[in-house]
Structure 1
Amino acid sequence: MKKVIFLDRDGTINVEKSYLHKWEDFEFEKNAIEGLKELKNLGYEFIVVTNQSGIGRGYYTEEDLVTLNNQMTEKLKEFGIEILECFYCPHHPEKGIGKYKVDCNCRKPNPGMLLEGINKYNVDIENSFMIGDKKGDLEAGKKAGLKSVLVLTGYGKKIEEDVKNQYLIAKDLLDVAAILKK
């Protein structure tokens, strides 16, 4: 069984930018690469799980997203970091608008993307984590049976008070590695 870190993308791996879909606008969060290297050294593998309602809203295409995710994973490979897979939810969060799926179980806080990754990659739930900067990330992890960690990058600082007694909290991905090392 694999020890896996499930990672939100925007605000966790990269700097949060509204409806990011172009590589030239992509920027890694501070300490993201260093943190992923440390987590890899602790024996973790990585799966990205990201809500991408910009597709459902018609702001960019699934092809745009896949291209960006591939560019991110290729860049991470240069640092010795492999991403097992990037799962994404393309659906609009509101019923009846854009590309909305009534029975969508993939949009976080629903655990669909995580459960798919857990099943596909034989994930050891007891020793795996969900890391993100939003409450929906943390809730999806909890619903999938994982321990969740809030990072104070992206939107993380805005929800820290709301979740401080429910979840582990780290400054960034490097701090996550330090916490999990203990």
Structure 2
Amino acid sequence: MMNAPSKLQKPAAFLDRDGVVNYDDGYMGTKDRIRWMPNAAKAIRRLNDAGYFVFFFTNQSGVARGFFTEGELQVLHAWMREELKAQGAHIDDIRYCPHHPDGTVAGYLEDHHWRKPLPGMIHDLMQHWPVRHEGSFVIGDRQSDIEAGRAAGLPGFLFAGGDLDAFVTEVMAQTSVR
């Protein structure tokens, strides 16, 4: 982990992508398939304004399964960042796991340590950013997201859909450092 002075550290919100920031319509590899969750940009802007790092951490087995390439996924993420930026919301960084042992694309056929429920993506982000554990949290739509957070020592909150900003507001109230 980074040994940054505590005054430079700040809490982080680790957001799953599909099912939290956008609807999970199955293997979302292109922008034409993205449907934003209600108030997603507002929720991210709220986190930005409150001084949180905001990260996406997302399993993307569609790469291993041949539905889209890693390059297409990176183009999608760049587009998502720009769309959010246009609404005053900022994503600090993104981690994704393109691997799956049941895939069909060579080079991605493994049960990688970044694949949720393992905490590899969270650990990697914490090594690259001065994240303060206290006040940090995970929001996901699946138990594997929550388990990844727990394995990294972070509380997790299961999002069932709907107004993401209202959900984030409630999570922030529960996790804020006083």
- TM exceeding 0.5: yes
Higher helix share: 1
RMSD of aligned Cα (Å): 1.8
Calculate the TM-score normalised by the size of structure 1: 0.83
Match for residue 109 of structure 2 among 85, 100, 105: 100
Sequence identity, in percent?
Answer: 37
Q: Name the structure 1 match of 2:64.
A: 56
Moved >4 Å (runs of 4+)? none
Q: Name the structure 2 match of 1:80.
A: 88
Specify the SS of the correspondent of 2:72: helix
How far residue 93 of structure 1 moved from its aligned partner, in angstroms, is 4.2
Given that 1:42 and 1:181 are in contact with CA atoms closer than 8 Å, whether structure 2 keeps it comes out as no
Aligned length: 164
Specify the SS of the correspondent of 1:130: strand
Q: Name the structure 2 match of 1:138.
A: 146
Q: Name the structure 2 match of 1:177.
A: 169
Uncovered stretches (5+) of structure 1, i.e. residues with no partner: 155-170
How far residue 21 of structure 1 moved from its aligned partner, in angstroms, is 1.0
Following the alignment from structure 1 to structure 2, what is the Cα–Cα distance between the partners of residues 31 and 82?
Answer: 14
Following the alignment from structure 1 to structure 2, what is the Cα–Cα distance between the partners of residues 135 and 109?
Answer: 8
Following the alignment from structure 1 to structure 2, what is the Cα–Cα distance between the partners of residues 119 and 2?
Answer: 13
Following the alignment from structure 1 to structure 2, what is the Cα–Cα distance between the partners of residues 33 and 110?
Answer: 27
Q: Name the structure 2 match of 1:165.
A: none
Q: CA, structure 1 residues 140+173, in 2 after alignment: closer, same or farther (shift >3 Å)?
A: farther
Uncovered stretches (5+) of structure 2, i.e. residues with no partner: 1-8
Following the alignment from structure 1 to structure 2, what is the Cα–Cα distance between the partners of residues 136 and 93?
Answer: 16
Following the alignment from structure 2 to structure 1, what is the Cα–Cα distance between the partners of residues 113 and 124?
Answer: 11
